[in-house]
């Protein structure tokens, strides 16, 4: 039995993790959950899974829930609540599926407490990958990828010697606007941006896919997870999302991982690694039915956010923190319909240009730069 502390239980990855727990009650149990503001769903999760520890975002929601349940469930809130769930002694693994750099501090605390981490929350690795990976090495805990591309790479690398690895090829579906020109991007709506062709995901990552920032964040995520320089990490446009990524070795052999698009597969692999479990409800891949797979070179002029991410990753220091924080703030503004789609990348570019990079930042420097960048984007709005 594996006890899971699930951060972000009410989100897209969170609820798919709950489906897996439901499908394998003999293998997985919930030790703790955290949620943001979706209290109605928290009630449903409590009724079905009885987690002993529940963290929510606000004090008010915490007090409301405390009043409704008996004292054998502990309710906590805010950042401290996230940390309590992350270090909870009954948890064997922490699945971090919160959105945004709010996931960083609980991740560092979980590592400090010796927990293995299954990480969906890519913003944490983008904003402070050096802190996370150094701490994980020191504490000898595993950082297991949940993101489908990184899970694919991780699966392709099993049994391989990393010194034979020459390149990672991360595939990208292209998001909602893959067939539009830059000129056409000026007129797109929020509704169109939220309509992803292949995946049903939370709204922030769906917008990140439309701007291609998601792939940029994933390049930085791959750099940290697999310890490879940026010139050995490439992105390939692949509309069908069947090949989830590929690795190339020195002898020119390439290994890929394939499957129908279903996030439960990489989530489950991160939870069972190095074992596998059957997943009868997953749709089997039928290549004969699909017939053709397509690949295109990634155009860095068309996808400015991908270009910015490579820049930020290569420059390092606090620049990836700025990239991530500016993106989070800009995407929020777009979701609130305060700015047009094309303005997202302009705000990120301005924030990066104005930033004076701090080398090898510690946690407090990261946090300060994250806050400053969000403030800057708000003033630019």
For Mg ion, the binding residues (CB under 5 A) are 147-149
Q: How many residues of this chain interact with ligand NDP, rule: CB under 6 A?
A: 28
Q: Which stretch binds ligand NDP (CB under 6 A): 2-10, 132-140, 162-170, 248-256?
A: 2-10
Q: Is 198 a known ligand-binding residue?
A: no
Q: Give the shortest CB-172-to-Mg ion separation in angstroms.
A: 9
CA angle 166, 171, 174 (to 5 degrees): 150
- Copy the structure tokens of residue 240: 């069908």
**Contacting residues for 366 by C-beta, under 8 A, at least 6 apart:** 104, 127, 128, 131, 318, 321
Q: Is 36 a known ligand-binding residue?
A: yes
- Copy the structure tokens of residue 33: 């959950």
Alpha carbon of 348 to those of 90, 110, 193, 342: distances in Å?
A: 41, 30, 18, 11
Do the Cβ atoms of 42 and 33 come closer than 8 Å?
A: yes
Tell whether residue 241 is a contact of ligand NDP (CB under 6 A).
no
Alpha carbon of 174 to those of 110, 170, 205, 208, 217: distances in Å?
A: 34, 12, 13, 10, 14
Q: Give the shortest CB-89-to-ligand NDP separation in angstroms.
A: 21
By CB under 6 A, what part of segment 178-207 binds ligand NDP?
A: 199, 201-202, 204-205
- Strand bridging mode 74-77 / 243-249: unpaired
Q: Is 281 a known ligand-binding residue?
A: no
Tell whether residue 121 is a contact of ligand NDP (CB under 6 A).
yes
Considering the complex, state which of residue 36 and residue 259 has its C-beta at the smaller distance from ligand NDP. Answer: 36
Considering the complex, state which of residue 145 and residue 317 has its C-beta at the smaller distance from Mg ion. Answer: 145
- Copy the structure tokens of residue 104: 């960083």
Rounded distance between C-alpha atoms, residue 125 and residue 320, angstroms: 10
Q: Which strand (E) or helix (H) includes residue 249?
A: strand 243-249
Considering the complex, state which of residue 354 and residue 371 has its C-beta at the smaller distance from ligand NDP. Answer: 371
Considering the complex, state which of residue 77 and residue 226 has its C-beta at the smaller distance from Mg ion. Answer: 226
DSSP state string for 76-94: EEHHHHHHHHHH-TT-SEE
Considering the complex, state which of residue 107 and residue 318 has its C-beta at the smaller distance from ligand NDP. Answer: 107
Considering the complex, state which of residue 29 and residue 57 has its C-beta at the smaller distance from ligand NDP. Answer: 57
Count other C-beta atoms under 10 Å from residue 44's C-beta.
13
By CB under 6 A, what part of segment 74-103 binds ligand NDP?
A: 97-99, 102
Tell whether residue 122 is a contact of ligand NDP (CB under 6 A).
yes
Do the Cβ atoms of 323 and 371 come closer than 8 Å?
A: no
**Binds 45, which of ligand NDP, Mg ion, none (CB < 5 to 8 A, cut-off by type)?**
none
Residues in the chain: 381
Q: Which strand (E) or helix (H) includes residue 33?
A: strand 28-34
Tell whether residue 263 is a contact of ligand NDP (CB under 6 A).
yes
By CB under 6 A, what part of segment 20-39 binds ligand NDP?
A: 34-38
Instruction: Give residue 7's region: left, alpha or beta (phi > 0; psi -120 to 50).
Output: beta
Considering the complex, state which of residue 148 and residue 257 has its C-beta at the smaller distance from Mg ion. Answer: 148
Q: Which stretch binds ligand NDP (CB under 6 A): 9-17, 59-67, 247-255, 288-296?
A: 9-17
Please state the residue numbers annotated as binding site: 10-13, 36-38, 121-123, 147-149, 173, 196, 202, 209, 214-215, 218
- Using CB under 6 A, list all residues that contact ligand NDP: 8-14, 34-38, 57, 97-99, 102, 120-123, 147, 199, 201-202, 204-205, 263
């Amino acid at each position: 039995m594996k006890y899971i502390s699930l951060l972000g239980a009410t989100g897209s990855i969170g609820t798919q993790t709950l489906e897996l727990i439901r499908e394998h009650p003999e293998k997985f149990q919930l030790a703790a959950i955290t949620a943001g503001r979706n209290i109605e769903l928290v009630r449903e999760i409590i009724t079905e899974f009885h987690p002993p520890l529940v963290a929510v975002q606000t004090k008010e929601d915490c007090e409301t829930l405390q009043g409704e349940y008996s004292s054998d469930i502990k309710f906590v809130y805010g950042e401290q609540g996230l940390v309590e769930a992350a270090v909870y002694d009954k948890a064997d693994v922490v699945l971090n599926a919160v959105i945004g750099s709010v996931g960083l501090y609980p991740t560092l605390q979980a590592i400090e407490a010796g927990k293995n981490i299954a990480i969906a929350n890519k913003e944490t690795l983008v904003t402070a990958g050096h802190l996370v990976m150094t701490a994980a090495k020191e504490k000898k805990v595993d950082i297991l990828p949940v993101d489908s591309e990184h899970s694919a790479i991780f699966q392709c690398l099993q049994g391989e010697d990393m010194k034979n690895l020459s390149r990672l090829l991360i595939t990208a579906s292209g998001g909602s606007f893959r067939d539009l020109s830059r000129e056409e991007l000026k007129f797109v709506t929020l509704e169109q941006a939220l309509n992803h062709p292949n995946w049903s995901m939370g709204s922030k990552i769906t917008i990140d896919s439309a701007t291609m920032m998601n792939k940029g964040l994933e390049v930085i995520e791959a750099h940290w997870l697999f310890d490879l320089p940026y010139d050995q990490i490439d992105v390939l446009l692949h509309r069908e999302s069947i090949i989830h990524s590929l690795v190339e070795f020195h002898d020119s052999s390439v290994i890929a991982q394939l499957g129908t698009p279903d996030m439960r597969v990489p989530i489950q692999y991160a939870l069972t690694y190095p074992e596998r479990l059957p997943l009868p409800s997953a749709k089997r891949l039928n290549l004969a039915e699909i017939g053709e797979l397509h690949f295109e070179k990634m155009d860095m002029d068309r996808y400015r956010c991908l270009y910015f991410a490579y820049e930020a990753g290569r420059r390092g220091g606090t620049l990836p923190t700025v990239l991530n924080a500016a993106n989070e703030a800009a995407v929020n503004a777009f979701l609130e319909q305060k700015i047009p789609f094309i303005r997202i990348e302009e705000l990120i570019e301005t924030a990066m240009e104005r930033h004076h990079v701090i080398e090898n930042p510690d946690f407090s420097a990261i946090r300060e730069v994250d806050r400053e960048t969000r403030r800057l984007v708000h003033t630019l709005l």
